[in-house]
């Protein structure tokens, strides 16, 4: 008979006690909920459960087939990291200088419209979280908090303003003057919106500004009472750029956007604005060069989060070629598709000077207000630090194209430098 490898015995109480530890109920449900989120995707799931379908889909969706957003996210997944081993990575420095300012991380909060519709704390929550984490916050022309109130909410932060050029030039520049008077030193001009993209989720949801209490929205509100309580018991949604609007999102965007805008207008704005100027929405190498020649301090490779032209270029695919053509004379920034700290590192390694998040921040906002935004930023920070160490680098300056291999799933990414 075989001798058993272990001898059975009755468990001892002293040995069981350390194993029998249960977590009791907590009054801090939001804190626990956010602590359980370990990825941006986790925050998205929480946001979906707590936000009515219209506002959530406005954030989550993209134009038409939504393939542009899908491809942008897939582009980051189609990368393979090449780590260096046996390096001293006892520290990891995420600090980044961009446009003459120092930031604690190489990522900022991108301009997003109608933000208080997603969660009532809105832009104030984003600005305060950005201030705490030492990164810039950009208020959209279609934001739901005035630039003066954003600056007052985060007086020690770096607060920027994004401009859509209206058909009414005087009103557009009035916003710019207000931003300047509030202390804003950086203007972000968005140039990929001659008309609103076909965001079919919004059309199907009949999304209006502000959301209307219809039979459908009331049914949708039943499992999401906190959102509706906040919406109904806090000041109504107003805009950074106008007093009010009653209509659909698409109607508002088409009312505001100017399809006649050209590079001559960009040059005119450059002459009007004496601070730093970023041109957002660049999607070709030639346009990047023209924007730089027109006086942009930075160009932001962006397809508007996939929300404008369906099947638009993927910003990450443009990065190498644009960086090479601009030869370091103009900063190259990037957004769209970033859902992980490793995505940010990959962009930096391939030549981006800075990056921005939109949905990733809004998922946190919808999941838990300012605390949710801070949780999103903390998740990205932890992911960046861990992946930097695993790559064998201790600062962003050490990241090089050699740390990233572009797999052959997609073509047209540009030839990487040796």
Alpha-carbon span 354 to 360, nearest angstrom:
16
Beta bridge partners of 107: 355
- pLDDT of 217 reads 66
- pLDDT of 184 reads 95
- pLDDT of 234 reads 86
pLDDT over 70 percentage in the chain: 88
Q: What is the pLDDT of residues 176-187, one digit of tens each?
A: 999 999 999 999
Alpha-carbon span 233 to 366, nearest angstrom:
17
* Active-site residue list: 304
Whether 305 has a pLDDT exceeding 80, the answer reads yes
Range scoring the smallest mean pLDDT among 62-66, 156-160, 193-197, 240-244: 240-244
User: Rounded mean pLDDT of 166-178?
Assistant: 86
User: Rounded mean pLDDT of 60-72?
Assistant: 95
Question: What architecture (CATH level 2) is domain 30-406?
Answer: Alpha-Beta Barrel (3.20)
- pLDDT of 415 reads 42
- pLDDT of 216 reads 73
Whether 27 has a pLDDT exceeding 70, the answer reads no
Whether 121 has a pLDDT exceeding 70, the answer reads yes
Whether 222 has a pLDDT exceeding 60, the answer reads yes
pLDDT over 90 percentage in the chain: 68
Whether 413 has a pLDDT exceeding 50, the answer reads no
Q: What is the pLDDT of residues 328-383, one digit of tens each?
A: 889 999 999 999 999 999 999 999 999 999 999 999 999 999 999 999 999 999 99
User: Rounded mean pLDDT of 159-180?
Assistant: 89
User: Rounded mean pLDDT of 395-413?
Assistant: 81
Whether 410 has a pLDDT exceeding 90, the answer reads no
Say which residue, 5 or 88, is predicted with more confidence: 88
Alpha-carbon span 65 to 318, nearest angstrom:
22
- pLDDT of 228 reads 81
- pLDDT of 9 reads 76
What is the pTM for the complete model shown?
0.90
Locus of tokens 């059975």: 8
Whether 151 has a pLDDT exceeding 90, the answer reads yes
Structure tokens given for 130: 């950005």
State CA 352 to chain mean position distance: 15
Three-state SS letters, the chain: CCCCCCCCCCCCHHHHHHHCCCCCCCCCHHHHHHHCCCCHHHHHHHHHHHCCHHHHHHHHCCCCCCHHHHHHHHHHHCEEECCCCCCCCCCCECCEEECCEEECCCEEECCCCCHHHHCCCHHHHHHHHHHHHCCEEEECCCCCCCHHHHHHHCCCCEEEEEECCECCHHHHHHHHHHHHHCCCCEEEEECCCCCCCCCHHHHHHCCEECCCCCHHHHHHHCCCHHHHHHHHHCCCCCCCCCCCCCEEHHHHHHHHECCCCCHHHHHHHHHHCCCEEEEEEECCHHHHHHHHHCCCCEEEECCHHHCCCCCCCCHHHHHHHHHHHHCCCCEEEECCCCCCHHHHHHHHHCCCCEEEECHHHHHHHHHHHHHHHHHHHHHHHHHHHHHHHHHCCCEHHHCCHHHEEECCCCCCCCCCCC
User: Rounded mean pLDDT of 76-97?
Assistant: 95
- pLDDT of 416 reads 40
What ranges do the domains of the chain cover? 30-406
**CA neighbor of 42 nearest in space, from 28, 32, 57:** 32
Residues 65, 368: contact at Cβ < 8 Å? no
**CA neighbor of 353 nearest in space, from 335, 331, 337:** 331
Helices 40-50 and 53-60 meet at what angle, rounded to 10? 150
CA angle 63, 68, 72 (to 5 degrees): 140
- Per the prediction, the chain carries an average pLDDT of 89
Alpha-carbon span 333 to 330, nearest angstrom:
10
Bond preceding residue 210 cis, omega within 30 of 0: yes
Alpha-carbon span 153 to 238, nearest angstrom:
17
- pLDDT of 223 reads 82
**CA neighbor of 356 nearest in space, from 372, 333, 376:** 333
Quick one: pLDDT band at residue 19, thresholds 50, 70, 90? low
Residues recorded for the chain: 418
Quick one: pLDDT band at residue 188, thresholds 50, 70, 90? very high
Say which residue, 409 or 91, is predicted with more confidence: 91
Whether 396 has a pLDDT exceeding 50, the answer reads yes
**CA neighbor of 108 nearest in space, from 405, 311, 353:** 353
**CA neighbor of 66 nearest in space, from 338, 283, 302, 310:** 310
Whether 412 has a pLDDT exceeding 90, the answer reads no
Residues 126, 104: contact at Cβ < 8 Å? no
């Amino acid at each position: 008979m075989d001798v058993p490898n272990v001898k059975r015995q009755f468990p001892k109480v002293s040995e069981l006690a350390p194993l029998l530890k249960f977590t009791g109920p907590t009054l801090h449900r939001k804190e626990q909920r956010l602590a359980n989120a370990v990825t941006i995707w986790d925050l998205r799931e929480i946001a979906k459960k707590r936000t009515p379908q219209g506002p959530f889909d406005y954030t989550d969706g993209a134009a038409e087939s939504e393939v542009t957003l899908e491809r942008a996210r897939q582009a980051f997944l189609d990368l393979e990291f090449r780590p260096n081993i046996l390096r001293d990575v006892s520290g990891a420095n995420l600090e980044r200088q961009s446009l003459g300012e120092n930031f604690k991380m190489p990522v900022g909060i991108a301009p997003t419209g109608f933000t208080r519709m997603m969660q009532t704390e809105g832009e104030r929550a984003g600005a305060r979280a950005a201030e705490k984490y030492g990164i810039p916050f950009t208020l959209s022309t279609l934001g739901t908090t005035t630039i003066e109130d954003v600056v007052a909410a985060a007086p020690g932060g770096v607060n920027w303003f994004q401009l859509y050029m209206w058909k009414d030039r005087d009103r557009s520049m009035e916003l710019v003057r207000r931003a300047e008077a509030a202390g804003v030193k950086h203007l972000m001009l968005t140039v990929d919106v001659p008309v609103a993209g076909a965001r079919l989720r919004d059309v199907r949801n009949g999304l209006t500004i502000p959301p209307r209490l219809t039979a459908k929205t009331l049914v949708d509100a039943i499992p999401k009472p906190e959102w509706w309580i906040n919406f109904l018991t806090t000041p109504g949604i107003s805009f950074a750029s106008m007093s009010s609007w009653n209509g659909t999102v698409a109607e508002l965007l088409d009312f505001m956007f100017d399809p006649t805008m050209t590079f001559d207008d960009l040059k005119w704005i450059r002459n009007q604005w004496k601070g730093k100027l970023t041109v957002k929405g660049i999607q070709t190498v030639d346009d990047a060069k023209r924007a730089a020649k027109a006086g942009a301090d930075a160009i932001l490779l962006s397809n508007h989060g996939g929300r404008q032209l369906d099947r638009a270029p993927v910003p990450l695919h443009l990065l190498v070629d644009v960086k090479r053509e601009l030869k370091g004379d103009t900063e190259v920034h990037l957004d769209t598709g970033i859902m992980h700290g490793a995505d940010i590192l990959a962009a930096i390694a391939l030549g981006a000077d800075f990056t921005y998040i939109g949905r990733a921040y809004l998922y946190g906002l919808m999941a838990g207000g300012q605390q949710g935004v801070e949780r999103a930023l903390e998740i990205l920070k932890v992911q960046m630090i861990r992946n930097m160490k695993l790559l064998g680098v201790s600062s962003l300056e050490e990241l090089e194209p050699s740390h990233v291999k572009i797999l052959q799933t997609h073509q047209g990414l540009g030839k990487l430098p040796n």
